[in-house]
Amino acid sequence: MKTDTSLQIATFALVLPVLVLPAVAYAVSRGVDLDRIGEAPIPAQIALYGQALAPAVAAAVAFRGRGFPWGFVKVPPAMLVKAWAIPVIGAAVAYGTGWLTGLASFTTQGLPFPPVLTVLVGLVPGLAPYLVLALGEQLGWSSFLVTRLGERHSADVVAVVFGVAWALFHVPLMLFVPGAVDPGVPMAYAVFWFTVQSVVLAFPLVWFRLRTGSIWPVLVVHATFNAATYFVGQAMTQPRSPWLLGEGGVLTTAGLAVAVAATARWWRQSRDNPAAA
């Protein structure tokens, strides 16, 4: 079993960049710019967004057999609410700090709805597209890599490994696709804080997955973080203050760390007690 698991993880680590790097190269060759993604050719957009499926495909190649740990296990609704609340609290702390201190500017210009309705729409139905994208990623990361690593290591060790690997998965996009990192932000700064942010978020993701055996809380955390960032926080911030806010912003990372620490009792419980909430 140990040898099989090592081989599976090694295969996953080799297949994933084989899928990601050509997709990034193709998108760049077709002039994709994330700030104007709608202007890119459809095949290039598919290549770019299709990367979200790469971890799931790599996991399927690596696992090769029956009994894949999909994780489509029911959990109490209260657990999903808590999973949703973690990134919401993090975004509220981050953007609220930026707005209240004047480090970032709050605006309602350009919002499709009044602010309160924008928040509600963004954080409830707005989760749908991000849930789809998160599924492709987390079937590979959480249902495959986390469960394989969890056979040998503690949840905390798995969270650090997963968080770093998850960040590295995004680095080609950050390095080569225009618009992935805002102009004027040093690449080293962006990659560093994005990595820290990924590791912080990995802790509730890993504990939820190993503790419950379910992928649903993982998907909710992942999708809600993206929706809270882009549909709510960034939409209400002009200029975007990329050094501080957004994915990889230092305030976003700090706010998320506060939320993760403050809600630890929601997710950090014994893996032998999956029913606890």
User: What pLDDT, on the 0 to 100 scale, is given for residue 276?
Assistant: 39
pLDDT in tens, 144-165: 999 999 999 999 999 999 999 9
Domain boundaries, the chain: 71-267
Model confidence pLDDT, tens digit, residues 47-69:
999 999 999 999 999 998 788 99
Tens-place pLDDT, residues 236-248:
998 878 999 999 9
What is the distance between the alpha carbons of residues 73 and 93, in angstroms, rounded to a whole number?
A: 31
Contact 144, 71 (CB under 8 A): no
pLDDT at 253 over 80: yes
Interatomic CA distance for residues 211 and 76, integer angstroms: 13
Give the other-Cβ count within 10 Å of 179's Cβ.
13
Residue keyed to tokens 């609290």: 89
d(CA 233, CA 53): 26
- pTM value is 0.93
Residue 271: predicted pLDDT? 53
Residues 86-145: pLDDT tens digits? Answer: 999 999 999 999 999 999 999 999 888 999 999 999 999 999 999 999 999 999 999 999
